[in-house]
Amino acid sequence: MAGRVLVASRNAKKLRELQRVLDAADIAGIEPVGLDAVPPYPEAPETGATFEENAAAKARDGALATGMACIADDSGLEIDALNGMPGVLSARWSGTHGDDGANTALVLAQLSDVPDERRGAAFVSACAFAVPDGDDVAVTVVRGEWRGAIARAPRGENGFGYDPVFVPEAGDRTAAELSAEEKDAASHRGRALTLLVPALAAFAGS
Ligand SMILES: O=P(O)(O)OP(=O)(O)OP(=O)(O)OC[C@H]1O[C@@H](n2cnc3c(O)ncnc32)[C@H](O)[C@@H]1O
Ligand SMILES: [Mg+2]
């Protein structure tokens, strides 16, 4: 039975991006709703080794607790010169969850001696879609990536997280200097959600 789909993120700016891309995809029969529209439920800590594991766990928790279909994103920044870190630790890299300024400053400090040609990085988003199925939940997980490089200093006011220090390939502007539409068209999250559209459309048509 299609209808309301829970979008399970506690990050207001990420949630806005997820809603924006879902709205743009305009999948008939799907109405995204946020966590504030449902009673609180226990959420497992994000301790998985991969984005995919964490995204699937978040979506599964939401679907099991509410009986609604549920979308979740787990995402982060993989920096080549840091062997793929901060990775799944991106939200709390500086020690304080969600402190974007401190997380970004720490990454810049860690790369202070790294020359331009070795500042490559990728944003990664795993998006999971969980649909209740009897006592169980069927989960689809997809992954989107966005290659770029880490700037020497933050620039731009848009976006969130590490956007001010991430320069997507094929451009000079940071992700925080892109418009919302430009970011969605190229971003890891935009790509991942595009890969989820068939599963969402199948659900909407069911
Ligand atoms: O788990 P939820 O509740 O969705 O919110 P969160 O902020 O904790 O989200 P994650 O666990 O997926 O951690 C992702 C972190 O990676 C960074 N990040 C992810 N996507 C990003 C983007 O598009 N631009 C900039 N930084 C991003 C940012 O620091 C996020 O806090
Ligand atoms: Mg999180």
Judged against a pLDDT cut of 60, whether residue 129 lies above it is answered with yes
Q: Summarize the annotated binding site for substrate as residue ranges.
A: 9-14, 75, 160-163, 183, 188-189
Q: Is 135 a catalytic residue?
A: no
Count the domains in the chain: 1
Coarse DSSP helix, strand, coil percentages of the chain, rounded to the nearest 5 percent: 40, 25, 35
| Residue 173 near residue 167, CB atoms below 8 Å | yes
Question: For 97, how many CA atoms within 13 A lie in the half-sphere containing its CB?
Answer: 5
Q: Could you identify the residue written with the tokens 């966590």?
A: 35
Q: In this structure, what CATH number is given to the domain that contains residue 10?
A: 3.90.950.10
| Res 2: pLDDT | 66
Q: Give the amino acid at 122.
A: A
Interface predicted TM-score of the whole assembly (ipTM), two decimals: 0.98
Q: How far apart are CA 60 and CA 43, in angstroms?
A: 10
Tell which atom from ligand 1 comes closest to the C-alpha of 86.
Answer: 16
Q: Residue 91 belongs to what domain range? A: 3-204
Each residue's pLDDT tens digit, 149-199: 999 999 999 999 999 999 999 899 999 999 999 999 999 999 999 999 999
Judged against a pLDDT cut of 90, whether residue 205 lies above it is answered with no
